[in-house]
Structure 1
Amino acid sequence: MSKYTKLARGICDLLLWLALTAASLLLSKLVKPFKRGFFCGDESLSYPLRPNTIGEALLIGIALLVPTSVIIVVELFKQLPANARDKQRDGCRIVHRLGQLYKQAGYYLFGLAMLTFTTVLSKLCLGRLRPHFFAVCQPMLPDGSSCQDAQNIGRYIDSYSCSNANVTDHDYAQMNLSFPSGHASLIIYAMLYLAIYLQAALSTRISKLLKHLLQFLFVMFGWYVSLTRITDYWHHWSDVLAGVLLGVLFAWLTSIYVADLFAFKRWQRAGYSANTLKKAQVSPKSSTKSQSQSQSTAAAMVAPALPAYTFGTLPYLAAHPAAQAQYAQTYHNYGYVP
């Protein structure tokens, strides 16, 4: 693929991401949510209005900056699969690193845009009332009565107006956008995708458990932010659960099918076990092949280029014995080959 073709593909991907992001913004600004009714006396809608522990601006900043910053650091400073000749010729291969950085950051942001569109569309279509609905709206019925009047207790109300003048327009706009939790879906997607990315791309010589500790901390931070949506009375527990499931789903789909972070698994089909370096059992019939065929097959086993995201795993070496002599030392340095 020529450099001009790669540039055209990169520009096309960028335009697609911008289009999807613009669609989410237009959807949230131009489309009014479904106006859902309520039962007077519903205790699940009677919680007080509290400020957000993690505000929207802070959430967006975390979802955009933290994963992309980690991707930048990993892609710019990780060890590349190149032999001594390539290193001498290309140096640090900065162009290759920048290209990988653009792709990996773009994959993450595209998944984030898909998740945002899905979350906004779900909120607008369902229009579920938040737990602090009564505190924000103080609904007034067309006949001038309210839910405090005895004749309205337990009555389903679908025609009402809000009489509370002490809340902001933003609170009014958000009072029926409870399902699913946008905070939960965005933060779980960001932190889980980051954990999956680290599993595929990061290794360390300091400690084998350092990567797993970072993954745990990222996921726990996402879980904490999700729980605050319940304790702040901005979402029902089912809203948060749905948001978490959406975040997990899109993180998995994006990492596996869009970014293809674990592409090295395609080499596991070469007849070698992924857990050991032993060759799989061969049937007696296959052992009757001629020695000339075996020699030609062995000669053809030339180690291809080491995939970019194989560090920390053994399937590549297991599937390509010819590559062991060339790359085993690299894996040994990272502590994965005894």
Structure 2
Amino acid sequence: MAPERQHRRPWLIYSFIFVELVIMAGTVMLAYYFEYTDTFNVHVQGFFCYDSSYTKPYLGPEESSAVPPALLYAVVAGIPTLVITVTESVMFLLQYTSKDFDTREKTVVTGDCCYLNPLVRRTVRFLGVYIFGLFTTDIFVNAGQVVTGNLAPHFLTVCKPNYTALGCQHTLRFISHQEACTGSEEDILRARKTFPSKEAALSVYAALYLAMYISCTVKAKGTRLAKPVLSLGLMCLAFLTGLNRVAEYRNHWADVIAGFIVGVAIATFLVVCVVHNFKGKLLLNETLEKDTLSSAPMTSLPRVESPLQKYIASQIWGADRGYMAVEQDCQESHRLR
């Protein structure tokens, strides 16, 4: 039974890895179609003539923002990767040098021919979940933007509607057709995709995931104050990113708050339900527990006998006593003779 179970285990591992790779590939492809193709048409939302909510000034393309997309994507992808990799390496080296590792196996068997270092295993696990969450956040945000088609605060500035041709004699006239705009189609399309705010969602997701990683993983002495300061600093940067979107009239407050909610929800779910608050153990801890159990003396464990065992023991003890009594009687009669 044991060899059969051992033979089936590699196939289960390979199946799980294959399923996870398929899910990751599907997530990346879906995010690509949302971001760089016109597969999904944006909902055309109407507006009222001279609506003051959409007449804010247009401060230029996204690249001219104080937090341009290239900088934001580089930060949310690079800093967590660097922090997690460096932290896991330092923790593994400290544990490696502080324990006797000569007689212990330093790799984890994942199949008949594959071996994985515990450092690589933890790093790949935490980073893989983080990257998956980034693409998931992007998909949720793009789906919300496509479905709602919410207008940016500067929409009428880039739309440039011909109010005379539209018959806007008063501000209560509602314009619902797409041909009402005469401005740049690219700017108009971008101004229709604001709810929820992608920048707010990605920034708060990265900040919260990294803050929870630092709080749950780093256990060194003297970090009781450093961990809260780092965590609050990361959350403050994410909050400032959302404020910048509102200050530059690129998003409404509702867009930024919705983005924060999406990022916080995805980060919390992945940390609590997927990586279990980063409770993965290093290999040394696992081997220490196994060795402790294997070296425990058997006499220290209490022994529980069943009623059948007690009955058999009593019968054997009674038979032994009867045999000894007969033998004593024979010896006594022989002595008297």
TM-score after normalising by structure 1: 0.70
Asked if the contact 1:34–1:127 (Cα under 8 Å) also holds between the matched residues in 2, the reply is yes
Please report how far the alpha carbon of residue 156 of structure 1 lies from its aligned counterpart in structure 2 after TM superposition.
Answer: 0.8
Distance 1:117 1:87 in 2: 47
Please report how far the alpha carbon of residue 88 of structure 1 lies from its aligned counterpart in structure 2 after TM superposition.
Answer: 5.7
* Alignment match of 2:99 (pick from 81, 84, 87): 84
- Counterpart check, 1:22 vs 2:44: no
Asked if the contact 1:123–1:179 (Cα under 8 Å) also holds between the matched residues in 2, the reply is yes
Query: Match for 2:165: what amino acid?
Result: G
Distance 2:167 2:132 in 1: 46
Please report how far the alpha carbon of residue 102 of structure 1 lies from its aligned counterpart in structure 2 after TM superposition.
Answer: 0.6
Closer/same/farther in 2, CA of residues 3 and 74 from structure 1, 3 Å limit: farther
- Map 1:118-133; keep pairs closer than 5 Å: 118-133=140-155
Distance 1:146 1:133 in 2: 19
- Counterpart check, 1:49 vs 2:58: yes
- Counterpart check, 1:173 vs 2:189: yes
Asked if the contact 2:58–2:154 (Cα under 8 Å) also holds between the matched residues in 1, the reply is yes
Please report how far the alpha carbon of residue 7 of structure 1 lies from its aligned counterpart in structure 2 after TM superposition.
Answer: 5.8
- Counterpart check, 1:182 vs 2:203: no
- Counterpart check, 1:162 vs 2:184: no
Which residue matches 2:162? 140
* Alignment match of 1:227 (pick from 201, 219, 243): 243
User: For 1:74-109, what per-residue CA distance to the aligned partner results, in whole angstroms no more than 9, with x for missing partners?
Assistant: 111114767834366457998110111111100111
Distance 2:223 2:195 in 1: 41
Would you say how many aligned residue pairs link Structure 1 and Structure 2? 261
* Alignment match of 1:250 (pick from 236, 245, 266): 266
Closer/same/farther in 2, CA of residues 146 and 186 from structure 1, 3 Å limit: farther
Distance 1:257 1:157 in 2: 46
Distance 1:6 1:195 in 2: 31
Superposition RMSD in Å: 2.8
Which residue matches 2:138? 116
Query: Match for 2:207: what amino acid?
Result: M
- Counterpart check, 1:208 vs 2:224: yes
Distance 2:102 2:218 in 1: 20
- Bigger radius of gyration, 1 or 2? 2
- Counterpart check, 1:65 vs 2:78: yes
Instruction: In structure 2, list runs of 5 or more residues that go unmatched.
Output: 1-5, 109-115, 281-299, 303-337
Distance 1:12 1:247 in 2: 25
Distance 1:220 1:135 in 2: 31
- Percent of residue pairs identical: 26
- Counterpart check, 1:260 vs 2:269: no
Which residue matches 1:296? 301
SS of the residue aligned with 1:78?
A: helix
Asked if the contact 2:56–2:157 (Cα under 8 Å) also holds between the matched residues in 1, the reply is yes
Asked if the contact 2:213–2:278 (Cα under 8 Å) also holds between the matched residues in 1, the reply is no
TM-score after normalising by structure 2: 0.70
- Counterpart check, 1:241 vs 2:257: yes
Distance 1:130 1:163 in 2: 16
Asked if the contact 1:203–1:211 (Cα under 8 Å) also holds between the matched residues in 2, the reply is no
Please report how far the alpha carbon of residue 134 of structure 1 lies from its aligned counterpart in structure 2 after TM superposition.
Answer: 1.0
